[in-house]
Amino acid sequence: MSAPTENPEKKDVNKNLVYSYTKMRKEFGRQERCLQDHFRIHANVKPLQKYRKLVVKKTVVDRDVQAAPGVCVNEMNTIRAEYAEFSGLHEEGGWPKDINMNDPEMIQRHRKKLEKEDAFTIAVPLMADEMEELIKNNNTINFYRSAFSCDSIIAPDRELVPTATVVNVYKNPANRPRRVSRITFAPENIGRMAVAQCPYEFDPSLRQHAGEAFFWEIENPTRPEGMIRAGSPITDVRYHPKDLHTIVGSLFTGQVATWDARVSPNPQLVSTYETSHTDVCTTALWINSKTGCEFFSSGLDGQVIWWDERNLSQTLDTLWCDPEKGQGRPEFAHGATVLEYEHTLPTKFLAGTDRGNVMVFMKKGKSPSERMIHMYKAHKGPVMACHRNPMFIKNFLTVGEYHIRIFAEDCKESSIMWTVPAETRYADANWLINRPSCFIACRNDGVLEWWDLLIRGGNNIMQMKVCDEALTAVCAADTGKHIAVGSIHGDVRFIQMSDLMSDFDKGEKPMLAAVFDRESRREKYLEQRNREIRLKKRDLEKQEAIQKKLEEDEAAERKALGLPDIEGMDPIQVKGMKIRQEVARNPIIQAEREFFISIDEEIRTKGIDAFPDKKVAKKKKSEDGDEHQEGGAVNITAADLAALDFHEDEQGADEGKPEAPPAAPEATPSQTAAAPLPPQSTTPSESQLAPPEPPEEEEEEEGEESPADEEAQNEVDEADDEEEE
């Protein structure tokens, strides 16, 4: 390597910092040699002697020189308080030791002995005196009646602000965090709940772990009471409504399995792969049946399968959730995410699909066409939950991406009530058992919302941030005062609500019924109106189609008649053309036309002799003379000819006058308004076609002036007549 040269150009730019090494090309590729004389001192700052005296040697050093921050590992956790319940047995106390409590004789004797003591005999009358005072007081006057008019200040019945607190946390007993997919409570208010945990993420590593579902006793949050296990994660777990120990669960692989909780955590029976769902099995529910052993399950493949718990290798019945009514085609089926079945309404059940529709099915349909009763369009994303109201089973709520909707079965077009879009997605919602106007919904940001239809319909009455992670499942406990909510880490929190949300008076039931009724009626009106609008629209379209067809026919006709095409003419001309066309078509007008033509002919050929009243005709002729000449075809106006028709007896030939009284046509409303013009339109074949309007207009104007003239003339005539006579 050559000696380091300082690049002269760069020196100017950055004197202090830049230092460049140059290497000659011929030296490339040489083996690197590390030589001792490789280093070069670039700067050497020698210690200044003058400071030497100021240097103090510190022999004891109390600071460590290492430049890294000191860390240490320390873990801390609060002590988990473990509670155990004991009850104490209180025996009767007070008896002296030597007396056996259970021996009545001894007790009696002791009592008698006590009675004989002096103190006793003195004390009792004293006490009795005092007591008598009080008793007499009580008997004379009722101390505790309200003497004042104001309302009692005793605690108000209902607090106005709802509150809720987390009472218990049941931590995920398994190692890995898995979201809670379902929480159910044991029937008959025993105080036990089952939690199914199943991750929905598509993660193959999670699939391989076996799935477990835990049973908890509500009072004991430290340790689950029991557990069931299956080969793959369990998505749904349900107690049998009559038997606490029979449990059915649906698995992630699409199978269903039954357990007997007393016997073992492994399933009693698992359905075979061939008969099960081909995709995740989302819900399994017990059914009211005679045997009490039937349940049905839904899966994301779109099937709903009925099973008998005793034999899971065969299915009792299957149904495909095809959105089209009357069809049960597997290719078109929507995956079913939730099922809802109400024991009091055993013939129908609801299925929510992953496309956001809710389908109502009849359980015992003879053919696929009778199976699906209706499909409601609920959401744009998958339906996360679908539950009927415990008191009004015709209404059910569905939860989708950002909305909660309430439906009434009768209103098929849309939901009757719905919420404004929330900030995050909803994961689950359910009605409260004790208070059917209230429902709870859990969101993906860890907030639990309470909605009450009677208190405030537009917004939730309370929100509570339960935890930081997303909430995935919620269920109301049978006690009526509690809710269990599950999070994405697998923890379940038990929340106690204030009385506001768990009491339901008798008077509130009709109010809730009124709410539902009102909303469904509103929807029905809207439906009706929509239908009307649609019908009108359809009629309008039909009309337009007819109109269009008519126009086309007319155009064809025009062509046939030889009239020019309408397009390109201004509206007045168009009108004229149309009138001409109508005239050409109408046989009556044709007949009239011919009549007028014939009259015209006669006039021309025979002159006034054509007409009976020669006297008047003569007069008229003498007065007007020769004004009527050629152009005559046009000048013999409609009015003329019309006048001829009606005033034949009186005036005879008014044909002399170029102006014609339009009174005639006006006096005869029976004749069509087109009458003045049609005779004119007879001329188009002869005269020019282009401007039919201006001459018409002229004549009309003239015609209007003439009635006055005509009358004057009549008078003159008569005067003349009289004079003559």
Partner 1 sequence: MSNNEVEEAIKRIMSHKGVVGLIVINHEGIPIKSTLENSLSVQYAAQVTQMVDKTRSMIKELDNNNDLTFIRLRTKKHEVLVCPEKEYSMIVIQNPIDT
Q: Which residues bind partner 1 (CB under 8 A)?
A: 90, 92-96, 110-111, 114-116, 118-121, 123-132, 134-136, 138-139, 141-145
DSSP 3-state assignment of 506?
A: coil
* 407 to 330, 335, 360, 442, 582: CA distances (angstroms): 27, 21, 12, 19, 58
Nearer Cβ to partner 1, position 124 or 550?
Answer: 124
Location of structure tokens 């539902």 = 516
Nearer Cβ to partner 1, position 82 or 129?
Answer: 129
Q: What is the identity of the amino acid at 435?
A: R
Nearer Cβ to partner 1, position 27 or 118?
Answer: 118
**CA 393 – CA 386 distance, rounded (Å):** 12
Angle at 106 between CA 104 and CA 112, to 5 degrees: 100
Closest contact distance (angstroms) between CB of 513 and partner 1 is 34
Angle at 175 between CA 170 and CA 178, to 5 degrees: 70
**CA 378 – CA 398 distance, rounded (Å):** 7
**CA 18 – CA 29 distance, rounded (Å):** 25
Closest contact distance (angstroms) between CB of 150 and partner 1 is 20
| DSSP state letters, 216-239 | EETT--SS-SEEEEESS-EEEEEE
Closest listed residue to residue 350, CA positions, set 366, 333, 338: 338
**Alpha helices, DSSP H only, in 587-692?**
587-606, 614-624, 632-635, 638-647, 663-667, 678-681
H or E element in which residue 438 lies: strand 438-443
Nearer Cβ to partner 1, position 88 or 694?
Answer: 88
Task: Please say whether the beta carbons of 438 and 501 come within 8 A.
Answer: yes
Length of the chain: 725
Task: Please say whether the beta carbons of 616 and 627 come within 8 A.
Answer: no
Closest contact distance (angstroms) between CB of 115 and partner 1 is 6
Closest contact distance (angstroms) between CB of 148 and partner 1 is 16
Closest contact distance (angstroms) between CB of 112 and partner 1 is 9
Q: Are strands 404-408 and 395-399 parallel, antiparallel or unpaired?
A: antiparallel
Task: Please say whether the beta carbons of 312 and 257 come within 8 A.
Answer: yes
Closest contact distance (angstroms) between CB of 114 and partner 1 is 5
Where do the DSSP E strands lie in 253-403?
A: 256-260, 269-270, 281-286, 294-299, 303-308, 311-320, 336-342, 345-353, 357-362, 372-377, 385-388, 395-399
| DSSP state letters, 239-284 | E-SS-TTEEEEEETTS-EEEEETTT-SS-SEE--TTTS-SS-EEEE
**CA 428 – CA 451 distance, rounded (Å):** 13
Closest listed residue to residue 213, CA positions, set 266, 284, 282, 269: 266
**CA 699 – CA 426 distance, rounded (Å):** 81
Q: In the structure encoding, which two tokens stand for residue 137, read together?
A: 């007081």
Closest contact distance (angstroms) between CB of 99 and partner 1 is 10
Q: What is the SS3 assignment for 559-600?
A: HHHCCCCCCCCCHHHHHHHHHHHHHHHCHHHHHHHHHHHHHH
| DSSP state letters, 485-503 | EEETTS-EEEEEE-GGGT-
Nearer Cβ to partner 1, position 57 or 113?
Answer: 113
Nearer Cβ to partner 1, position 122 or 633?
Answer: 122
Strand partners, 354: none
Nearer Cβ to partner 1, position 128 or 227?
Answer: 128
Closest contact distance (angstroms) between CB of 96 and partner 1 is 8
Exposed/middle/buried for residue 152 (C-beta within 10 Å: 0-12, 13-18, 19+): exposed
Cα pseudo-dihedral 22, 28, 33, 39, rounded to 10: 0
Task: Please say whether the beta carbons of 655 and 599 come within 8 A.
Answer: no
Nearer Cβ to partner 1, position 131 or 545?
Answer: 131
Nearer Cβ to partner 1, position 33 or 116?
Answer: 116
Angle at 506 between CA 502 and CA 508, to 5 degrees: 70
DSSP 3-state assignment of 341?
A: strand
Nearer Cβ to partner 1, position 115 or 551?
Answer: 115
